[in-house]
Amino acid sequence: MIDLKGKTALVTGAASGIGRATAETLAEAGAHVVGADLDETRLAEMVKAVEAAGGSAEGVAMDVTSWDAVNAVAAEVNGRHGRMDILVNVAGWDRIEPFMQNDEAFIEKIVSLNYLGQVRVAKAFLPPMIEAQQGMIVNVSSDAGRVGSMGETVYAGAKGGVIAFTKSLAREMARHGICVNCVCPGPTDTPLFAAQPDRMREALLRVIPFRRLGTPQDLANAILFFASPRASYVTGQVLSVSGGLTMSG
């Protein structure tokens, strides 16, 4: 059993999907979870669910596309808790659309949210972790960033950036005792995926070796390992959680 008692974890995108499952899983392991999201209503539901299960959590409104917003939340949260022991970057968004139909606003939003959002959060929350010479960072990328994905070209580019960012940050943070790893979901049964066309869901189910979509809990389980002391000698690694869809030799 993984024991995170006495640890404080920030989870972005904690109001739904993979983020919520991660927040609940870390809390179940004993961590106090600070869930960050723009959806304050669903964030409050997550906190209530964690507390009903005997865990400890709080919610903070945070827009990862804004440097000012992220820096303000970091100052507030670190002021209350001193520092984060665990930092999990989950917040993200996409829409399936051919690249040549992407307008400039869409492209900017995809990159700002899916890539720069993680850069902003890491930059804001790292100083006290560096001072303490310890911590665990888990970035959520996507298998789209590893192998590409039709209709998700800019998203795949942003998520590929997350993978490179993770590896480079891991090299810089190793001297400070901070592990930085990355989890790449394959097709996962989240509200975001549910908005995609039925034909795409059916096509993916045919090619996933396990013949099912991933669940948010599948991803949360992988994140829990990387966030735990069991991964204390693991850094700069990328783990696909895709039911075998993206095996590589």
> Catalytic residue positions?
155
CA dist 4 → 29, 55, 75, 230 (Å): 5, 11, 23, 11
What does the alpha-carbon distance between residue 183 and residue 7 come to, in Å, rounded to a whole number? 21
Strands of the sheet with 86-89, listed across from one edge: 56-61, 32-37, 8-12, 86-89, 135-140, 178-185, 238-241
Environment class of 28 (CB within 10 Å of its CB; exposed 0-12, middle 13-18, buried 19+) = middle
What does the alpha-carbon distance between residue 164 and residue 170 come to, in Å, rounded to a whole number? 10
Residue with tokens 């109001």: 15
